[in-house]
Structure 1
Amino acid sequence: MTLPAVPFRRRLLLPVTAALMLGLPLAAQAEVAFQYDLPAIAPEVASETQEKPGWATERFAVAAANPLATDAGYQVLRAGGSAIDAAVAVQMVLTLVEPQSSGIGGGAFLMHHDGDEVAAYDGRETAPAAVNGELFLDEEGEPMPFMEAAAASGLSVGGVPGTVRMLELAHAEHGRLPWAELFGPAIRLAEEGFTVSPRLATSLESEQPLRDDPLGSAFYYPNGEPLEAGVTLKNPALAAILREIAEHGSRALHEGPIAEDLVARVQGHHSRAGAITAEDLAGYEAKRRDPICTAWQAYEICGFPPPSSGHLTVMQILGILEHLPEVETPLEEGVPGEPWLHQFLEASRLAFADRGHYIGDPDFVEAPGGDWSVMLAPDYLALRAGLIGEESLGSGGAEPGNPGELATAWASQPEQPEYGTSHISIIDEHGNALAMTTTIEAAFGSRILADGGTGLAGGYLLNNELTDFSFTPQDEAGQPIANRVEANKRPRSSMSPTLVFARDGDSRGELVASLGSPGGAAIIHYTAKALVAMLDWGLDAQEALNLPHAITLGGPVFLEEGRFPSATLEALNARGHEASERELVSGLQAIQRTETGFFGGADPRREGVVMGD
């Protein structure tokens, strides 16, 4: 690999041809004032819950899961960059400082509003051309154990990464600063070092499969021990890789030495080799999709269409709740009370039954009735709400509904684990806003660290995104599962980046909020509850994100440990909910418009902050 020996803090003056090759707006030809300064901040002092104040700003705001990433976006916005510009800088820093959650080796969904139009940019990973529905079946035809045989192996990395190519597509349409400049913060932090955060240190301490990867073990477990919080970590391999992407665009990741290194590590994995090829990487396409915008109360809520199940499932939950008797006091002593929780959890059961039955990559799976919005039709949701009574439907008691005719009879997908991710919300001073949820799936993805063929220490982690497909391709009767593994298909996701607008009659009004969360399938519950808290209960963004969580994927109910009165748990169990407590670590970020500008909130369960002027 040829590494450009050019200091990234220079001011770029790109010729027209270079700007066009990189997909940059012509405005990128001009001399740019953005120069990154190392911030005098560090991640928070503990990995447990931290009280967050909420942040008021006037002109712009950026929220991300790590202070160094937030600051990179802040500096871009302060230099006149767009929301997309800031998102590129934030994502590259997250690749470095929060490698367990997202990075250039994964995928992302991005919702964008340019002051007029709402667009959905799809950077979801795709399956290799050589795989089929038997990818995760063992010799006896049974699904493999999730972690031991599938996630921490080359098999799961069939997910061709899409984050960089998606950001490049969005930047070509909405960027204001040159692409290359936006990599400066991550490159400098990688070369000069950053402080390992408590959350990264805690994740490394509890992690085992990453220790079995030769590069991962050498980099994150020097002398056999995990890196400790507070130590300075440099990542020269990632700096070199980011320099190549800065200069050559996404082509540097999808073709050439970096791509060849990725393929070699997957195909040569010590446990189970994956099928990804150079052709798979070179042929990846990010997509610009039409969002799904849904009227709810006085708002229009815009979210991501399939292959995300997020918006459809969130809005089914909210739509079902609208058809249930109003709970006069949803909050009791500052937390959701049992009467509201019962309705919320039952609506979740019904919505997840539909999710598991119908939703998949729209290039492979047809929508009920030919239109995904049929699943959100008020009459249909009223019928679903009619199934909710005083007693819980219980584990397995919620069956999928019939929202519209289908050419194919699908089977319901069995429940299986989902993990991971990070969320970014940004509103700039030019009238642009975005919500971006980004992932490598499980913590540390496939546990394969790739150095791009540089031979330097460090690198980036590869995703295990194919484990978001159903391990079982069909049910016992032979009916196919919509989210089964297929060549070149995108696995179903729960990511729910969301933009909220006021409704002005039948027209879309001004932007109200940007929000989203990590958390696997529980992203849907976290996002739905935050929307209710902000839009219905009148809480500000920080108050909404502080609320405790309650989830069900259709089976048992889990309440966030230590956050609810014992009487709430007992009352839910009396209704048949099979409720218990467990840790539920979201990573919500939210920015809402106020009369004087914006107000941002960051999840107290993670290290994120909001910054702006």
Structure 2
Amino acid sequence: MKFTRIAPTLSAAAALLLLVAVAAIALFGRTGAQAFMVASASPDASAAGIEILEAGGSAVDAAIAVQAVLSLVEPESSGLAGGAFLLHYDKRTGALDAWDGRETAPMAAQPELFLGDDGQPLDFLSAMVSGRSVGTPGVVRMMWEAHREYGVLDWADLFVPAIRLAEDGFAVAPKLAQAIARDPVLKQMPVAQDYFFRRAADGTRRPVGEGEMLTNPDYAATLRAIAAQGADGFYKGAVAEAIVDAVQNAPARPGTLSLDDFAAYQAVKREAVCAPYRRYRVCSMPPPTSGGLTLLQILGILENYDLAGMGPMTATAVHFIAEAEKLAYADRDFYIGDPDFVEVPQAAMLDRAYLKTRAEEIDASRTMGKALPGVPPAQIRGEWRAGLSPERASTTHFSIVDGRGNVVSMTSSVEGPFGAHLMAGGMMLNNQLTDFSFVPEEDGRMVANAVQPGKRPRSSMTPVIVFDADDNFVLAIGSPGGPRIIGYVAKTLIALIDWEMGMEEAVALPHFLDRNGALEIEEGSTLEALIPVLEQLGHRIEVRTLTSGLHGIAATAQGLDGAADPRRDGNVISGQR
């Protein structure tokens, strides 16, 4: 089994578990006889998940342990003061559940939340580093509800690995160290500056570096409250009060988040959105994330073309995939919002005849430039406007298969990096409300993703589970990356399905995507050689760093095959009971 960029300064517990995993691989081979697996963005988090699975825990049990550790060791990306989407497959019943733990806007929030005194949209940094950007966290309530349905081990046991790491200390991973060093605001923020920076004798501060040990007793206290009291340990009492105090007394633009918002928060179990692609059924999350619908639109458009015949990563394949992405992103921006507030034409957007007409807009010899939203069947054009919804690329994804064959594919985020840069209870607070449109209306019509009290902002998170024609589990995958998540996941699924690559090869494949603007090419990749041809097709090229965090697991004839994105610090660990 693949181990990717494992830091030599792991905690003792994580190191011991990795030695056990290596021994298991030596005994049973790379994939054969493996009964369960965790692929996550942190070796410490993967080790925590394996610890739970070794004890007989379920995939949901392991997911809770993984998320609790990620909140500690990858605070720039996700955490218990953020939100998440969780897909769960129950092997015994065949049920597929889609758990929505997305944050909600405070009940006092208004559509003009991110407009300045001049009525113009705030710049992103000003909106982000503020109390206004913090939504009511959803991940703890979502995990609590999922555990009530699919948990096996005691709730309190699931937080033991994270508490141990918070109290004993963990080694700062390369990605976290880099994020701290380059952040322009973190060292000026109360609480966060004392946690992430060391004070020198001359009074200056330096960021903690890679491999240095960090402890977080405040987070350990938060975890102990949650472990002892369940979700109420987060949504009531000292933890909720600390978060509300940090938001309402933020140094810049205090927010209105209240204890009443915490008390009212509910996680929602929704129906997964699924569609056929080739000989498979691809399933993901429905709105309020745009990820599932947009991904399935991309695949539905491309199903009309022979991507296998075009060849992997050829200029022709890149062109057709990019054009399909343009079309799907245009629909995404126009139609998708919180389904409890706006009517999302979900079935119409996935209508195969509609997607065929969208596919016919692709010209093999020339890019279409800027794609316009289509008109799905029965959808009245002009009901909504696209708005202005900036997103940033700091999130995490992990995939888990337990010893019973149950599967979790979960994407989690505080937005950011480092969310709102506010810290309470040892946690970074989210800035997910900046995923709303900063502009509440255009041309006199409400934007689908406008701020409203209690509403969930649109997301791009795209956790995926794929099944074969006989409804057998095939693979689980997802990625961080803000609005680019959808393109990362789409290209990887195409590599796995159309180009028949293994998980490791598909995850490491160079990135390209088009969010209905420039065609973005991963800097330093072999795709740069295609730029002259793509420019001849009319594409406007932007070469940039594209830092995904794909973590996937596939079921093969030889057993489970997992991979961790080489662009991040994660790994894959497997084992058997």
Provide the C-alpha distance between the structure 2 equivalents of 1:522 and 1:349, rounded to a whole number of angstroms.
12
The structural deviation recorded for 1:555 is: 0.8
The structural deviation recorded for 1:327 is: 6.0
User: What is the DSSP-based 3-state SS (H/G/I as helix, E as strand, rest coil) of the residue aligned with 2:403?
Assistant: coil
The structural deviation recorded for 1:394 is: 5.0
The equivalent of 1:524 in structure 2 is: 486
User: What is the DSSP-based 3-state SS (H/G/I as helix, E as strand, rest coil) of the residue aligned with 2:88?
Assistant: strand
The answer on 1:515 being equivalent to 2:481 is no
Q: Give 5+ residue unaligned stretches, structure 2.
A: 1-10, 19-28, 200-204
The equivalent of 1:236 in structure 2 is: 217
The equivalent of 2:67 in structure 1 is: 91
The structural deviation recorded for 1:55 is: 6.0
The equivalent of 1:176 in structure 2 is: 152
Sort the Cα spacing of 1:326 and 1:246 in 2 relative to 1 into closer, same or farther, 3 A: closer
The answer on 1:430 being equivalent to 2:410 is no
The letter of the residue matching 1:356 is D
The letter of the residue matching 1:591 is I
The equivalent of 2:339 in structure 1 is: 362
The equivalent of 2:130 in structure 1 is: 153
User: What is the DSSP-based 3-state SS (H/G/I as helix, E as strand, rest coil) of the residue aligned with 1:176?
Assistant: coil
Sort the Cα spacing of 1:188 and 1:262 in 2 relative to 1 into closer, same or farther, 3 A: same
The letter of the residue matching 2:111 is G
Sort the Cα spacing of 1:120 and 1:566 in 2 relative to 1 into closer, same or farther, 3 A: closer
The equivalent of 1:202 in structure 2 is: 178
Provide the C-alpha distance between the structure 2 equivalents of 1:599 and 1:324, rounded to a whole number of angstroms.
28
Moved more, 397-406 or 213-222: 397-406
Where do 1:96-495 residues align within 5 Å? 96-115=72-91, 116-147=94-125, 149-157=126-134, 159-223=135-199, 224-324=205-305, 326=307, 328-331=309-312, 336-368=313-345, 372-393=346-367, 395=369, 397-406=370-379, 409-414=383-388, 416-451=390-425, 459-475=426-442, 477-495=443-461
* Cα shift readout 1:372-391 (whole Å, capped 9, x = no counterpart): 12211110011001111035
User: What is the DSSP-based 3-state SS (H/G/I as helix, E as strand, rest coil) of the residue aligned with 1:551?
Assistant: strand
Sort the Cα spacing of 1:606 and 1:465 in 2 relative to 1 into closer, same or farther, 3 A: same
Q: Structure 1 residue runs of 4+, over 6 Å off? A: none
- Which of 472, 475, 499 pairs up with 2:465? 499
Instruction: Give the TM-score taking structure 2 as reference length.
Output: 0.92
The equivalent of 1:536 in structure 2 is: 498
Where do 1:568-607 residues align within 5 Å? 568-607=530-569
Provide the C-alpha distance between the structure 2 equivalents of 1:470 and 1:393, rounded to a whole number of angstroms.
28
The structural deviation recorded for 1:393 is: 4.2
The equivalent of 2:7 in structure 1 is: none
Provide the C-alpha distance between the structure 2 equivalents of 1:235 and 1:42, rounded to a whole number of angstroms.
22
User: What is the DSSP-based 3-state SS (H/G/I as helix, E as strand, rest coil) of the residue aligned with 1:184?
Assistant: helix
Q: Check conservation: 2:395, 2:414, Cα contact below 8 A.
A: yes
Aligned length: 546
The equivalent of 1:4 in structure 2 is: none
Q: Check conservation: 2:521, 2:527, Cα contact below 8 A.
A: no
- Which of 565, 568, 572 pairs up with 1:610? 572
Sort the Cα spacing of 1:86 and 1:584 in 2 relative to 1 into closer, same or farther, 3 A: same
Sort the Cα spacing of 1:349 and 1:512 in 2 relative to 1 into closer, same or farther, 3 A: same
The equivalent of 2:47 in structure 1 is: 71
Provide the C-alpha distance between the structure 1 equivalents of 2:303 and 2:325, rounded to a whole number of angstroms.
13
The structural deviation recorded for 1:570 is: 1.3
User: What is the DSSP-based 3-state SS (H/G/I as helix, E as strand, rest coil) of the residue aligned with 1:225?
Assistant: strand
The structural deviation recorded for 1:392 is: 4.4
Q: Check conservation: 2:478, 2:551, Cα contact below 8 A.
A: yes
The equivalent of 1:47 in structure 2 is: none
The structural deviation recorded for 1:213 is: 1.2
Identity %: 45
The structural deviation recorded for 1:122 is: 0.6
* Cα shift readout 1:292-334 (whole Å, capped 9, x = no counterpart): 1111111111110000111111111111111235562422xxx
The structural deviation recorded for 1:419 is: 2.3
The answer on 1:40 being equivalent to 2:15 is yes
User: What is the DSSP-based 3-state SS (H/G/I as helix, E as strand, rest coil) of the residue aligned with 2:275?
Assistant: strand
Q: Check conservation: 2:432, 2:457, Cα contact below 8 A.
A: yes
The letter of the residue matching 2:323 is E
* Cα shift readout 1:112-139 (whole Å, capped 9, x = no counterpart): 0111100001100000001111000111
User: What is the DSSP-based 3-state SS (H/G/I as helix, E as strand, rest coil) of the residue aligned with 1:63?
Assistant: strand
Sort the Cα spacing of 1:74 and 1:326 in 2 relative to 1 into closer, same or farther, 3 A: closer
Q: CA RMSD in A?
A: 1.7
Q: Check conservation: 2:367, 2:537, Cα contact below 8 A.
A: no
Q: Check conservation: 2:17, 2:47, Cα contact below 8 A.
A: no
- Which of 38, 50, 65 pairs up with 1:62? 38
The equivalent of 1:18 in structure 2 is: none
The letter of the residue matching 2:208 is L
Provide the C-alpha distance between the structure 1 equivalents of 2:402 and 2:12, rounded to a whole number of angstroms.
20
Provide the C-alpha distance between the structure 2 equivalents of 1:565 and 1:430, rounded to a whole number of angstroms.
40
The letter of the residue matching 1:183 is F
Provide the C-alpha distance between the structure 1 equivalents of 2:423 and 2:389, rounded to a whole number of angstroms.
29
The equivalent of 2:22 in structure 1 is: none
User: What is the DSSP-based 3-state SS (H/G/I as helix, E as strand, rest coil) of the residue aligned with 1:39?
Assistant: helix
The letter of the residue matching 2:452 is E
Provide the C-alpha distance between the structure 2 equivalents of 1:200 and 1:118, rounded to a whole number of angstroms.
34
The structural deviation recorded for 1:404 is: 2.9
The structural deviation recorded for 1:367 is: 2.2
Provide the C-alpha distance between the structure 2 equivalents of 1:546 and 1:501, rounded to a whole number of angstroms.
22
The letter of the residue matching 1:363 is D
The structural deviation recorded for 1:484 is: 0.6
The structural deviation recorded for 1:473 is: 0.8
The structural deviation recorded for 1:565 is: 4.7
Provide the C-alpha distance between the structure 2 equivalents of 1:446 and 1:392, rounded to a whole number of angstroms.
42
Provide the C-alpha distance between the structure 1 equivalents of 2:80 and 2:307, rounded to a whole number of angstroms.
45
User: What is the DSSP-based 3-state SS (H/G/I as helix, E as strand, rest coil) of the residue aligned with 1:121?
Assistant: strand
The equivalent of 1:548 in structure 2 is: 510
Provide the C-alpha distance between the structure 1 equivalents of 2:249 and 2:552, rounded to a whole number of angstroms.
41
User: What is the DSSP-based 3-state SS (H/G/I as helix, E as strand, rest coil) of the residue aligned with 2:468?
Assistant: strand
Provide the C-alpha distance between the structure 2 equivalents of 1:388 and 1:406, rounded to a whole number of angstroms.
22
Provide the C-alpha distance between the structure 2 equivalents of 1:142 and 1:482, rounded to a whole number of angstroms.
19
The letter of the residue matching 1:222 is R
Moved more, 311-320 or 401-410: 401-410
The equivalent of 2:26 in structure 1 is: none
Q: Give 5+ residue unaligned stretches, structure 1.
A: 1-35, 44-53, 452-458
Sort the Cα spacing of 1:179 and 1:141 in 2 relative to 1 into closer, same or farther, 3 A: same
The equivalent of 1:50 in structure 2 is: none
The letter of the residue matching 2:239 is I
Provide the C-alpha distance between the structure 2 equivalents of 1:321 and 1:346, rounded to a whole number of angstroms.
9
Sort the Cα spacing of 1:544 and 1:225 in 2 relative to 1 into closer, same or farther, 3 A: same
Provide the C-alpha distance between the structure 1 equivalents of 2:343 and 2:528, rounded to a whole number of angstroms.
44
Provide the C-alpha distance between the structure 2 equivalents of 1:606 and 1:123, rounded to a whole number of angstroms.
24
The letter of the residue matching 2:473 is L
Sort the Cα spacing of 1:565 and 1:69 in 2 relative to 1 into closer, same or farther, 3 A: closer
Sort the Cα spacing of 1:257 and 1:379 in 2 relative to 1 into closer, same or farther, 3 A: same
